[in-house]
Structure 1
Amino acid sequence: MKKSITSIVFLFVISNSIFGQEIKRKVIDLGGSGPYKAIAVREETLPDFVVYRPEKLKKAVKKEGLLPLMVFANGACANTSITHERVLSEIASHGYIVVAIGALKLANDENWESTEAHMLIGAMDWLVAQNANPGSDYCQSLDLSKIAAGGQSCGGAQVMAVAKDPRIQTYMMFNSGMGDMIMAGASTKSLADTHGSVVYIVGGEEDIATNNAKLDYQRINHVPVAFANMLDGNHGGTFNEKYGGAFARMALNWLDWQLKGQKDKSAVFLEPDLSDFPNWFMRTKNF
C-alpha cells in the first residue's frame, strides 16, 4: 500500500457523552480539489450510510444541473467507508452525490462488521425517495438516470451481486474482480447481469485482484469494458493519498465521460492518453 498522507479533517459533532459521539458531518482534505467543497454527512433517515456531497448543494445543482450519483461498497464488505473517504469526498467535490455503506466515523478504529450487497439497492431506493420528497435537501436535485455502482475489493463483488438492478448505468470495480471466485453473493455468472459500461481500476501485479480483473475483462463481451491498471498501485491503490490520488482522478475521468457526457474525458480510455497517469496501462473493448 502506498505511504499515507495525513488528511486534514474538520468535524462538526453533537456529543452525547464523552465516550459516545454522534457525528453529523465531516470535511475531508478541506473539502476536496473540485469546484464544490464536499462534506461527508450522516443523514437521520439513512444512519447506516455516509453521504458524500457538495456542501452547497443547490449551488452545485444550479451550475451542473441534476447531479449524477454513485452508490459504493467497501473493501472487506465492511460497514465503514472511512478507508475510502478521500476518493469519495474528492468525487463529490466535482459535482456528484456518493452514498457509501457504513455509518460516519471519526477515525478508523478497525472495528467493523460485514455487510450485505442489498444495502446498495437500499441506497438507491433512498436516493429515489429523497429526490421526490419536498422536505428533503435533495429534492429535485438528483439525476436518477445517471447512477454508478462502485466497490473496492469485496465491495466490488457486492456490486456484481446487484448488477441486475436496472438503475445502474455504469459499474466501477476498484481492486476487484470475480475471476472464478464466489463472493458476497456474486460469481463469474454475475458478469452477464451487467447492462452498462464497466471499468476495472486495479493496482498492478502486487494487487491480489488484478488477475481476477483480467479474467473478467476477457469474459465481458456484451457491454463496453475498460481495464485501467496502475502498475505500482498495490491492493490499496491511492485511497490513502490526498484528494484520493490517481485512483480518484481516473474515477473522475470515467464518471465525467460516462455520466456527464464529457467526451473529451474518453481520451484517457480510448486513445489512450495516459500523459496524466504515468506508470498506468489501459485496455478497452466493445466501445
Structure 2
Amino acid sequence: MRRTLTRAALAAALSLGALVGAAALTPAVAAPGGSGPYPADYSTSSSLPNHTIYRPVNLPTERLPVVVWGNGACSADGTSAQNFLKEIASYGFLVIANGNPGGGGSSTSAMLTQSIDWAFAQNTDAGSPLRGRVDTSEVGVAGFSCGGLEAYAVANDPRVTTVGIFSSGLLNDADDYQLRRLNDPIVYVIGGSGDVAYPNAMDDWNKLPAGLPAFMGNLNVGHGGTYHETNGGQFGYVAQQWFRWQLKGDQQAGRTFAGTDCPLCSRGWQVQRKNLTLGTDPTPTPTPTPTPTVTPTPTPTPTRTPTPIPTAGPSACTATYTVANQWGGGFVADVRVSAGTAVNGWRVRLTLPGGAALTHAWNGRSTGTTGTVTVANAEWNGTLQAGQSATFGFQGTGTGAGATVSCEAA
C-alpha cells in the first residue's frame, strides 16, 4: 500500500508538470560553460527537430561518446537543465536533450531513440562536422524525474552501454519488467528522503538484477536537485564522473564510485554500491595529448595461435551463437556461454563472416572488430558453476549469418 501511494503521488506531480518548472532552471543567456577541458554550448539541427544538442565548442581530437537526456516533467524544453548538460559535454561528450531550447509541450521516450539514431548517422555523414568524431560504441541514456522514466523505457536498446536515473523511479509494480531487462551499469542520483521520487527509486534499487553493476547516491537537496547551479552543482559533478568512467574508461573518475574509500561521503552523499569493480585499464582523464598511443600493445600471439580446447574430459565451456535481428546494414547477435566445469572467467573467440564488423558489445569486453575477435566476460558474469550459463550480445555491421564461436576458460 505504501508503494502504491507514493508512486501515485509521483505520477500526479509528473502529470501536473509541478516537479521543477522549466523556467526556474533556464539561465537567461547561453554561453560556453562547464568545468571540463572543452567548454561546451548548445545548438540545434534541422535534421533533428525538437532536440537540443550540446557539444564542445572546439571539438577534441578524441571521439565523443554519446549521452541522451530526458527532462524533468517530460518537458520539451531542451535547455531546462543546460548548466548540468554543458558540464557533461565539457568533458568531451556529445549530449542531446529532448526538446528545443526554451521549447514547450511534452517529450516522449521515442525522442531519446531519435537522438541516438541521429548521433550515429552524423558519424558517417560526409557533410557533418561530427563525421568520424562520435564514439558509437559508448552511449549513455539518462533523465530526470519523468525523463528518468523515459530513460528506463529505452535502456534495453542494444546500443546503450550505461543508464542514469536522476530523482526518478518506476510508477507501478507492473513496470518492473523494465528492471529485469537491464544489463548495463546503472547510476541513481536522488535528492534524499525528501525527494518525492525517493521511495520509488529505492524500491527499484532493491529489485535490480543480481550481478548488475549499480551505484545509488542520495544528497538531501529534494526533488529539484542542483541542475540550475553553476556547472550543475553536485549532481553535475556526479554525472560527469560517472560518464567519464563508464563511457571513457577513466579509472580516476571510477574511484568516485568504486574505490575503497568514499570520496562522495565527505560531500554529504549517502552511498550504496552493488557489483562495482575498478578495472585495470590505466586510461587517464581524457586530454588532447595522444600519449596513450605510446603504451606498447600486448603481443598478438594468442590471437594467431589460439590455445586448443582439450579433447579429453568435458570442455570448460561452450558457446552458441544466434542472430537476433538482421536489417539491411547491420545485425544484432546473442551468444550463450555454458560451463562444462566450474570457471572463474571465460573468453569467446568469434569469427565474423567477410564484410561484417562488431561495433558494440554488452555483458562482455570485446577486443577487435573484424575477422576473429575476442569477447571476454564482464566483471559480473565470469564465475560460472558447472551447468550454469551467461549471455552477451553485440551489434555489428554487414551480415551476421555464418559466424562461428568457440569458448575457453580464461
TM-score, with normalisation over the residues of structure 1?
0.83
Aligned partner of 1:128 in structure 2 is 120
1:259 partner amino acid: L
Q: Is 1:197 paired with 2:185?
A: yes
How many angstroms apart in 1 are the aligned matches of 2:226 and 2:207? 27
How many angstroms apart in 2 are the aligned matches of 1:33 and 1:120? 25
SS at match of 1:123: helix
2:111 partner amino acid: M
Q: Is 1:117 paired with 2:104?
A: no
Larger helix share, 1 or 2: 1
Q: Is 1:216 paired with 2:218?
A: no
Q: Judge conservation of contact 2:167–2:195 (CA < 8 Å) in 1.
A: yes
Aligned partner of 1:175 in structure 2 is 167
Q: 1:77 aligns with which of 70, 74, 85?
A: 74
SS at match of 2:44: strand
How many angstroms apart in 1 are the aligned matches of 2:27 and 2:78? 17
Distance 1:7 1:129, change over 3 A: closer
TM-score, with normalisation over the residues of structure 2?
0.59
How many angstroms apart in 1 are the aligned matches of 2:149 and 2:24? 28
Once the two structures are TM-superposed, the CA of residue 83 in structure 1 deviates from its matched residue by 2.2
How many angstroms apart in 2 are the aligned matches of 1:91 and 1:55? 13
2:66 partner amino acid: L
Q: 1:88 aligns with which of 85, 88, 92?
A: 85
- Higher Rg: 2
How many angstroms apart in 2 are the aligned matches of 1:245 and 1:234? 14
Distance 1:265 1:121, change over 3 A: same
Give the root-mean-square deviation of aligned CA atoms: 2.2
Q: 1:249 aligns with which of 237, 243, 263?
A: 237
How many angstroms apart in 2 are the aligned matches of 1:276 and 1:283? 11
Unaligned 5+ runs, structure 2: 1-18, 277-410
Aligned partner of 2:146 in structure 1 is 154
Q: Is 1:41 paired with 2:43?
A: yes
How many angstroms apart in 2 are the aligned matches of 1:101 and 1:147? 16
SS at match of 1:70: strand
Describe the superposition over 1:30-85 as per-residue Cα deviations: whole angstroms up to 9, x where unpaired. Answer: 4222111111101121121000000112xx1x1xx111110111111111132211
Aligned partner of 1:53 in structure 2 is 55
Q: Judge conservation of contact 1:171–1:198 (CA < 8 Å) in 2.
A: yes
Distance 1:277 1:157, change over 3 A: farther
Q: Judge conservation of contact 1:5–1:242 (CA < 8 Å) in 2.
A: no
The aligned length equals: 254
Q: Judge conservation of contact 1:221–1:286 (CA < 8 Å) in 2.
A: no
Overall identity of the aligned pairs, in %? 34
Unaligned 5+ runs, structure 1: 11-25, 106-110
Q: Which has the higher contact order (CA 8 A, sep 6+)?
A: 1
Q: Judge conservation of contact 1:47–1:103 (CA < 8 Å) in 2.
A: yes
Within 5 A, what are the aligned runs for 1:272-283? 272-274=261-263, 277-283=266-272
Once the two structures are TM-superposed, the CA of residue 275 in structure 1 deviates from its matched residue by 5.2
Aligned partner of 1:228 in structure 2 is 217
Describe the superposition over 1:234-276 as per-residue Cα deviations: whole angstroms up to 9, x where unpaired. Answer: 1011011011000010111111111111112222212342257
